[in-house]
Amino acid sequence: MRDSSLTAVRLQLKALGYDPIPLRIDKRPYFGWPEEPNDSDSIMRWNRYHGCVATGIRLFQSPGLFVLDLDIRIVEVRDAILQAYEQRWPQFMTDCVRRHSQGVSLALIGRSDTNKGTLKSRRWRRKDSSEDEKDNLIEVFTQHSKRFIVVDGAHSAGRVYAYHGRPLLWEVAPAQLPEFPASDIETALNVADEIMQAAGLTQKQSAILGKRILYDLRPEMQIELEHGEELTLAELERDLKIGPPRRTVAYPTPWDPASTTPRVLATIGADGLCLWDTKTETSHRWAWRKPPESFAAMTAQLHALERRDER
């Protein structure tokens, strides 16, 4: 897409009342994206950014913005969910903006007066799916989500974001988007769960229940935060300790350097830094915190600590 086309769309989004930001390919924002200025003069200069090939919208405090993100990989399952939604919420489904990325997944954009933030359905997979196969789920984003959605430009090599039918997002003001009932948001997620279960998909187990915990983090490992800042894990832990415990989103992961999606949540707690991989649903923790494999090993560790304290 030419720079002039991207700039024209960004200016139109801003004029309508949206909160656009520049993005690199694979939905990657630039450093400091939550505070990125987007007045007309700033937007006109965004093409100076290296790899600025897409446009996003900040969701936080956007006027009532609501997104039903059908992150579904199976055409038949996606269509079944759409059909169920059309039966329950026909007016919203007729008038909502439908953004796609030339794949199966689909985002339905409207508005909703809700105090909810980001919500998700359960994660589902084919029974014979490989470990690398992506999950199927529905995500809900609102004006309380401290995230962004991509609305225009390059998705990845050979793919761009586009829209099914009319209107395009930059042709309709936020206040003119169709309204989704706030009281029905969780129902929409439950409907999707029921359809995916009926289609024979299996629910992915959660590491929160102790299914997957890996003690593989080392202080010198590098990670990139959502706004583009690069830190070692030791620096990240110190950063999280400065203020109240908070979450941040990380990109290329120490265990999957090729990843370019915001899939990791960094938290700080009693056990120090924890990196939660939402793709594999695995909790990654400090290697030195790994529990001993046997009582004898634990006893040996205790004796070693006692000897160190005696010195």
pLDDT for the residue 209:
45
Same domain, 284 and 193: no
Task: Band the pLDDT of 169: cuts 50, 70, 90.
Answer: very high
| CA–CA distance, 268 with 230 (Å, rounded to integer) | 18
Same domain, 174 and 136: yes
Strands 159-160 and 148-156: antiparallel
Note the Cα 182 to chain centre separation in Å: 21
Domain end call among 188, 203, 218: 203
Q: 191: helix, coil or strand?
A: helix
Q: Which residues, other chains included, contact 282 with Cβ-Cβ below 8 Å and sequence gap of 6+?
A: 207, 212, 213, 214, 276
Over residues 202-252, the pLDDT tens digits come to 987 654 444 578 889 999 998 877 666 778 899 888 888 876 556 667 776
Q: 300: helix, coil or strand?
A: helix
| CA–CA distance, 79 with 173 (Å, rounded to integer) | 28
Task: Band the pLDDT of 299: cuts 50, 70, 90.
Answer: low
Domain end call among 171, 203, 235: 203
Assign residue 176 the CATH number of its domain: 3.30.2250
Same domain, 111 and 218: no
Average pLDDT over residues 136-143: 94
In a domain, 38, yes or no: no
In a domain, 12, yes or no: no
In a domain, 87, yes or no: yes
In a domain, 156, yes or no: yes
- How many residues comprise the chain? 311
Domain end call among 179, 203, 227: 203
In a domain, 88, yes or no: yes
Instruction: Give strand pairing partners of 176.
Output: none
Same domain, 194 and 65: yes
Same domain, 191 and 280: no
Same domain, 171 and 85: yes
Structure token digits, residue 202:
């299996």
In a domain, 135, yes or no: yes
In a domain, 9, yes or no: no
Q: Is the pLDDT of residue 151 over 80?
A: yes
Q: CA distances (Å), 59 to each of 16, 53, 192, in order? A: 15, 20, 23
Same domain, 90 and 220: no
Whole domain around residue 73: which residue ranges?
A: 60-203
pLDDT for the residue 210:
46
Same domain, 86 and 218: no
In a domain, 39, yes or no: no
Same domain, 97 and 196: yes
Same domain, 196 and 217: no
Domain count, the chain: 2
pLDDT for the residue 283:
86
| CA–CA distance, 86 with 89 (Å, rounded to integer) | 5
In degrees and rounded to multiples of 5, residue 249 shows phi and psi of -110, 135
Same domain, 80 and 191: yes
pLDDT for the residue 76:
96
pLDDT for the residue 137:
93
| CA–CA distance, 220 with 236 (Å, rounded to integer) | 10
Same domain, 230 and 187: no
Q: Could you check whether the bond before residue 292 is cis, i.e. omega within 30 degrees of 0?
A: no
Q: Is the pLDDT of residue 310 over 70?
A: no
Over residues 49-104, the pLDDT tens digits come to 988 999 999 999 898 999 999 999 999 999 999 999 999 999 999 999 999 999 89
Measured between its terminal Cα atoms, the distance across the chain in Å is 67
pLDDT for the residue 192:
95
